[in-house]
Structure formats: C-alpha cells, structure tokens
Amino acid sequence: MILVTGGAGFIGSNFVLDWLAAGGEPVVNLDKLTYAGNRENLRALDGDARHLFVHGDIGDAQLVAGLLERHQPRALLNFAAESHVDRSIHAPGTFIETNVVGTFRLLEAVRAWWGGLQGAPREGFRFLHVSTDEVYGSLAPADPAFTEQHQYEPNSPYSASKAASDHLVRAYHHTYGLPVVTTNCSNNYGPYHFPEKLIPLMIVNALAGKPLPVYGDGRQVRDWLYVGDHCSAIRRVLEAGRLGETYNVGGWNEKPNIEIVQVVCALLDELRPRVGGGSYADQLTYVKDRPGHDRRYAIDARKIQRELGWRPAETFETGIRKTVQWYLENGDWVQRVQSGAYRDWIATHYAPA
C-alpha cells in the first residue's frame, strides 16, 4: 500500500482517484481537512476497501509513526501543504507550520521507521515530495525556462516555505540516505480545484454574475498543466525516478493571465450563454496587484521526458474545455465548498482598497 498526505485537496484527490482507477495498490490517505481539504472529492471511493481515510496532521509525529508501523507503505507521497500564495501574504504562519515544520516532522517519522527496515522493503521504499516551480522565483520575458539546475529564489512566503521543505527533503537524502524524489510542477487546473485559485475563481464568479478580478496588468505568465497529467507524471517518477533527483513537470503551455481569463469566458459564452446576452468577459475588472507578484514562470520539462518518457497528454484546449464542463456539471460541489470561511476570505481579500 501507499501513504498519501493531503489526498483530500485538489491535486491529492485527483491523484488518489486516478491511482485507484488505474489499479494501484490500496491508499492510506492522511489529511488535516483544512478549508482546502474536502472529503467529497473522494466520494467515488465511499465503501471502497482500497481507500482508508485518516483525519490528521502530517506534523503529528505519533500519528504518522503509528500509520507507518501499521500499514508498512512501500511509498509515501507528500501532497499536504498550504498552497495559496495570496493567503500566505495575508497570514504566513500556517505555511511555516505545515510546509516547513510539518514536512520536517513527517521526514523525522519516516526516517525513524525506515531506519528499522531491512532488505527489500528498505530498498524499495520511496518518499516522493510534491513541490512547485515557484521555488525558482520569477523569469524575465526572454529568459530560458526553469531547469532542475535553476537557482532557488522564492519570492512569497508560500514559495519560501515550499523551498524550505524541498531543502529538507534533499538533506534527508544526502545525510541519512532516505530514498527521496521531488517533483517541481507548474500551475495545475482541472476538477476539484478550490475556487480561490485563478481558473476556478473566474468560472465561479462569471456564472454568479460577479466581477472577474485580474491582478495588475494581467500580463503575468504561468505555465498551465491539466491535473491528470501532473498525476501521471508523479506515478512515473514514483515508478522510475532516480533517488535524490528532482524532476520539473510542466505543460509547455505558457500563457498570460488575461488570455486564460478570456479563454474561460469564451468557453462559458459557448457552453452556458449569459442570461440577457453579452459576454462573460464584460465582467472582467483589473484590481490591485498581488504584492511581490512573480512576473513569469516557465518549465523546461525535458529531463522527465528524456529520462522517464513522460509528456502531457492534454493540450490546453482539451484540458480547459473539460475543466469548464466539469464546473458546469458540478455546481453543487462549488456551492458546498463555499462555506462561511471561504466567504470571509473573499470578502477580506477582494475588499476595495
């Protein structure tokens, strides 16, 4: 069996669903169920004996030690994190707690348990750490894309906390020989994406007749990858990634934010025309920029392609259409994640200056 942390969040839940659909071993899923964690994402697995959900914190050393001892996983995949840059600017503390201290405690628990293993279970064990391209900082328009050799230059409390966790993972390999691999991926999109992030926020606000808040000039560039492709990359790295290595994962799909918003609006215009006419793009509004906003991310994903034969299956056109369709068909999911806590966040963060 494998132990997944953060498997009730956006990418983690997509990973668990895809993993079991592909016939993978049973999953123990440890998740704290923060505002971003949602057991409903895993509803398709209700009653499925291959999925054991455990409500808890990666920083709870005793709990993690017990899970490792009881289930003897052949791999641990660490998705658990605070993941939203804007929240890290408003309140960085939880990012340090979970992404830095939590990852440290998780590594310590794994090191203690793994240290007692022998033979094939010890040789075969993997700690796969899921990280982000944001650790590399920001690129100028003509700079080459981030390779795995790019210097770490994190600019937000979120990316700094992820960079710290990457360094700890690396150090546990270098110092203790823990069998780790790390993935650094670009911006994901797809089903179960919490509507505080750009793409789902735009879909949800458009349908609700609300403003579509574009930060600054909207010319910041991100590389976008369909979440199912990120999951297939992680499966491949788990299967064949070299120990102690990092793999950049990306979609070869750089786009400025404003273009993303326009594509989303055009798809909504086609699939759910606005009552009363006009385009959803009429709701677009430029708002105050994110402090310290990184201008451009771009991923050079040649290493994972060359070494492991992975490449994305979706184009942006196919992926974004599926995503918009999913949100149109899952309005009840959106309504249920919009809890009181979510409404408070929107009211505070997007309040007029």
**Residues at the site binding ligand DAU, with contacts judged by CB under 6 A:** 83-85, 132-134, 186-187, 197-198, 201, 213-215, 220, 222, 257, 290, 297
| Catalytic-labelled residue, pool 134, 196, 229, 294 | 134
Choose the one of ligand NAD, ligand DAU, none that binds residue 76, judging by a C-beta under 5 to 8 angstroms depending on kind. none
Q: Which is nearer to ligand DAU, 99 or 125 (by Cβ)?
A: 99
Considering the complex, what minimum distance in angstroms separates the CB of residue 289 from ligand DAU?
A: 8
Nearest approach in angstroms of CB 136 to ligand NAD is 12
Q: What is the DSSP letter of 290?
A: P
As measured in angstroms, the least distance from the Cβ of 222 to ligand DAU is 5
C-beta nearest to ligand NAD: residue: 9
Q: Which residues contact 73 (CB under 8 A, 6 or more apart)?
A: 1, 2, 3, 28, 67, 125
Cβ distance to ligand DAU smaller for residue 8 or 178: 8
- For residue 294, indicate whether it is catalytic: no
- Active-site residue identified among 31, 57, 82, 133: 133
How far apart (Å, rounded) are the C-alpha atoms in residues 163 and 301?
19
Complex with ligand NAD: residue 165 or 283, whichever CB lies closer? 165
CB of 327 to ligand NAD, least distance (A): 15
How many CB atoms are located within 10 Å of the residue 285 CB?
11
The residues facing 305 across adjacent strands are none
Catalytic residue among 57, 136, 158, 294: 158
Query: CA–CA distance from 56 to each of 5, 34, 63, 206 (Å)?
Result: 9, 10, 8, 35
Single-letter amino acid, residue 233: A
Closest to 176 in 3D by CA, of 101, 76, 108 = 108
Looking at beta carbons, which residue is closest to ligand DAU? 132
Half-sphere exposure of 40 (CA within 13 A, CB side): 14
Residue 214 interaction partner, one of ligand NAD, ligand DAU, none, beta carbon < 5-8 Å per kind: ligand DAU
Q: Which two tokens stand for residue 311?
A: 């490449």
Comparison of 274 and 303: residue with beta carbon closer to ligand NAD: 303
Alpha carbon 228 to its chain's center: 11
Task: By CB under 6 A, name the binding residues for ligand NAD.
Answer: 5-6, 8-12, 30-34, 36-37, 57-59, 79-83, 98, 102, 130, 132, 162, 185, 187-188, 194
Residue placing its CB nearer to ligand NAD in the complex, 20 or 283: 20
The amino acid at 223: D
Distance of alpha carbon 298 from alpha carbon 80, whole angstroms: 24
Give catalytic status of residue 134 as yes or no: yes
> Quick check: is 57 catalytic?
no
The secondary structure element, H or E, covering residue 94 is: helix 93-95
Left, alpha or beta for 218 (phi > 0: left; psi -120 to 50: alpha)?
A: left
Minimum CB–partner distance for residue 206 and ligand NAD (Å): 20
DSSP state of 41: G
Single out the residue of 173, 207, 334, 229 nearest to residue 283, CA to CA.
207
Q: Are 126 and 74 in contact (CB under 8 A)?
A: yes
Of 87 and 236, nearer to ligand DAU (C-beta) is: 87
CB of 84 to ligand NAD, least distance (A): 7
Which residue's entry shows tokens 């998780």? 106
Q: Using CB distances below 5 to 8 A depending on partner kind, what does residue 31 bind out of ligand NAD, ligand DAU, none?
A: ligand NAD
Point out the residues that are catalytic. 133-134, 158
